[in-house]
Amino acid sequence: MIIEMARVDTPIGPLLLAVREGSLCAVEFDGAQARLRRTLSRRFPGVELRSGEDPSGFASRLRAYFDGDLSALESISVDPGGTPFQAKVWKELRRIPTGSAVSYRDLAGMIGAPKAVRAVGLANGANPVPIVIPCHRVIGADGGLMGYGGGLERKRWLLAHEGARGLRHSDSGTESLNLF
């Protein structure tokens, strides 16, 4: 089995893409190439990793997204793996419209598991295909920006890039999205 890897320079730093059989199976922020290789080797024993310019055209689509074509990622095929619960969460994340954000509690309700807020948060944090599976669109119940694997600065940038309403700064230095 062969996985093609490509690097895409973006306004939030370089991204590393991993594409297998026409599906995006991982996106990692720069600086984590060794971790990405380990993760792919565990998930796909015996995999051969090759460098590619634009595997399945996904590097071009990511560039288009960062250049302002916010719908460029919608049709990218993903293969994130994961447990059935994680897959359910990740599928629902792709249904959150660009420019919107939901709370972890809302996301739990959207998948029919309203008491599984913590599990939803863990699944969100385990997302191997950030940006394309838009885990950055999930915020705290109070509208605050909660953790993001790429860091809160990147999450803030992505939400602003997508035109999320009400991004504001408070005097305390915390930020929240006033979406309601």
Delimit the CATH 1.10.10.10 region(s) of the chain.
84-177
- For the annotated catalytic residues, the residue numbers are 135
Coil, strand or helix at 109: helix
CATH dotted code for 2-66: 3.30.160
Question: Residue 33's Cα: distance from chain center in Å?
Answer: 17
pLDDT band at 166 (very low <50, low <70, confident <90, very high): low
| Burial environment of residue 160 by CB neighbours within 10 A (0 to 12, 13 to 18, 19 or more) | exposed
Look at 113-117, 152-156, 169-173 and tell me which has the smallest mean pLDDT. Answer: 169-173
pLDDT digits (tens, 9 = 90+) for 9-59: 999 999 999 999 999 999 999 878 888 989 999 999 999 999 999 999 999
pLDDT digits (tens, 9 = 90+) for 105-121: 999 999 999 999 999 99
Residues with Cβ within 8 Å of residue 2, at least 6 apart in sequence: 20, 47, 48, 49, 50
pLDDT digits (tens, 9 = 90+) for 62-110: 999 999 999 999 999 999 999 999 999 999 999 999 999 999 999 999 9
Q: Are 113 and 135 in contact (CB under 8 A)?
A: no
Delimit the CATH 3.30.160 region(s) of the chain.
2-66
Which pLDDT score is estimated for 33?
Answer: 83
Spatial separation of the C-alpha atoms in residues 101 and 106, rounded to whole Å: 10
- Its CATH architecture, for the domain 84-177, is Orthogonal Bundle (1.10)
Q: 3-state secondary structure string, 10-71?
A: CCCCCEEEEEECCEEEEEEECCCHHHHHHHHHHHCCCCEEEECCCHHHHHHHHHHHHCCCCC
